[in-house]
């Protein structure tokens, strides 16, 4: 059984990885999950300087999902390189660093800084719906996206993944734009912009008013977008959005995702990624596939 997949020349032992923002830099969850079993760990977004994030409440549960408006709280690249990277290097898994910024220069600073580090891939977060500057602004305007991708690509030593927002009219166009800018891979979907109202307080449930919707409720939307994008670009696609079970994971692979990221499901079950990985292997065995690559994009 071969479960290996290749993303921009980087070989992952299996397609399963954490979705950025739900898994920190792996340390907290390493108490519950053997990180060595994952294809990759995708870190929470890291910026050039520490970010405090949004006021609380930052979380609200919804039916079959949740809204978050953390606001990319992160310790900045210095602490990340000193503390989080050495921690992650102990494990036999690929390291994908999610990079966030308010300006193109911010992104470039982080990307340049990571150039000499043992990082396998960079995921560029141009799709966070919860910060006022940067984030989604880059991911909703094709011109901005093209420019930021090109600029980052100019300085990046590792292959770059552009993380796309579903909060656009045509996500395939955005994926093609990222590809044209030199992106080595695209990942999608980031969260869908949503809202919840506290009927007893008669105010917003989140201090930020709006937040990003994730969880199994968004899976059909995510799957449709992954399928659309996988058929629009030639670079590999990492699929995510509500993946909770191994069946979900198989659907994304069939739709054309080379890698699959698991986020919100970790909150419900810290071992969900391992179960998904094992379930996919079982599926391949049962369906007589020797190679996970054989099912990627099988449903055209």
Partner 1 sequence: MKRKKEIAKVLSQKEIAKDIFDLWIESQSVTADGKAGQFVSLYTGDESRLLPRPISICEIDSDRNALRLVYRVTGEHTGTKIFSKMTEGDEIEILGPLGNGFDTSIPEDAILIGGGIGIPPMLELAKERSGKSYIVTGFKDSTFLMEDLQRWGEVAIATEDGSAGTKGTVLDAIRDNGIKADVLYACGPTPMLKAVKEYAKEEGIEKVYLSLEEKMACGVGACLACVCKSKEVDSHTHVKNKRVCKEGPVFSAWEVEF
- Residue numbers at the binding site for partner 1 (CB under 8 A): 21-24, 28-34, 44, 50-53, 56-61, 63-66, 68, 70, 73-76, 79, 215-216, 244, 264-271
295 marked among binding-site residues? no
Closest Cα to residue 159, out of 190, 115, 191, 197?
115
CB of 249 to partner 1, least distance (A): 16
CB of 50 to partner 1, least distance (A): 5
Which of the residues 81, 100, 128, 185 is marked catalytic?
Answer: 128
CB of 228 to partner 1, least distance (A): 26
68 marked among binding-site residues? yes
Cβ nearer to partner 1, comparing 28 with 170 = 28
C-alpha span between 166 and 73 (Å, rounded): 22
35 marked among binding-site residues? no
Q: What sign results for the dihedral spanned by CA atoms 139, 144, 145, 151? A: negative
Tokens found for residue 137? 């602004």
56 marked among binding-site residues? no
264 marked among binding-site residues? yes
C-alpha span between 45 and 212 (Å, rounded): 15
| 100 catalytic per annotation | no
CB of 32 to partner 1, least distance (A): 6
Annotated binding site: 20, 44-45, 68-72, 98, 125, 163, 189-191, 215, 241-242, 263-264
Annotated binding site for substrate: 44, 68-72, 125, 190-191
Query: Which residues are designated catalytic?
Result: 128
């Amino acid at each position: 059984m071969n479960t290996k997949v290749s993303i921009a020349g980087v070989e992952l032992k299996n397609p399963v990885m954490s979705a950025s923002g739900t898994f920190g830099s792996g340390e907290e969850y390493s108490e519950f999950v053997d990180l060595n079993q994952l294809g990759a760990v995708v870190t929470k977004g890291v910026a050039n300087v520490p970010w405090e994030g949004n006021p609380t409440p930052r979380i609200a549960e919804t039916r079959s999902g949740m809204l978050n408006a953390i606001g990319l709280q992160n310790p900045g690249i210095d602490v990340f390189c000193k503390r989080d990277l050495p921690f992650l290097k102990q494990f036999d898994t690929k390291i994908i660093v999610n990079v966030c910024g308010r300006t193109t220069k911010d992104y470039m600073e982080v990307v340049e800084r990571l150039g000499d580090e043992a990082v396998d891939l960079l995921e560029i977060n141009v799709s966070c719906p919860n910060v006022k500057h940067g984030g989604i602004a880059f991911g909703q305007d094709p011109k901005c996206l093209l420019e930021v991708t090109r600029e980052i690509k100019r300085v990046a030593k590792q292959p770059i993944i552009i993380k796309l927002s579903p909060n656009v009219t045509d996500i395939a166009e955005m994926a093609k734009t990222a590809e044209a800018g030199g992106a080595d891979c695209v990942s999608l979907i980031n969260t869908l912009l949503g809202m919840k109202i506290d009927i007893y307080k008669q105010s917003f449930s989140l201090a930020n008013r709006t937040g990003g919707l994730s969880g199994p409720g968004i899976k059909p939307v995510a799957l449709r977008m992954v399928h659309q994008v996988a058929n629009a670009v030639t670079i590999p696609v990492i699929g995510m959005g509500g993946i909770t079970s191994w069946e979900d994971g198989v659907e994304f692979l069939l739709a054309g995702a080379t890698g699959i990221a698991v986020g919100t499901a970790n909150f419900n079950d810290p071992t969900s990624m391992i179960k998904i990985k094992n379930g996919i292997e079982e599926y391949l065995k049962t369906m007589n596939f020797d190679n996970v690559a054989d099912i990627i994009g099988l449903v055209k």
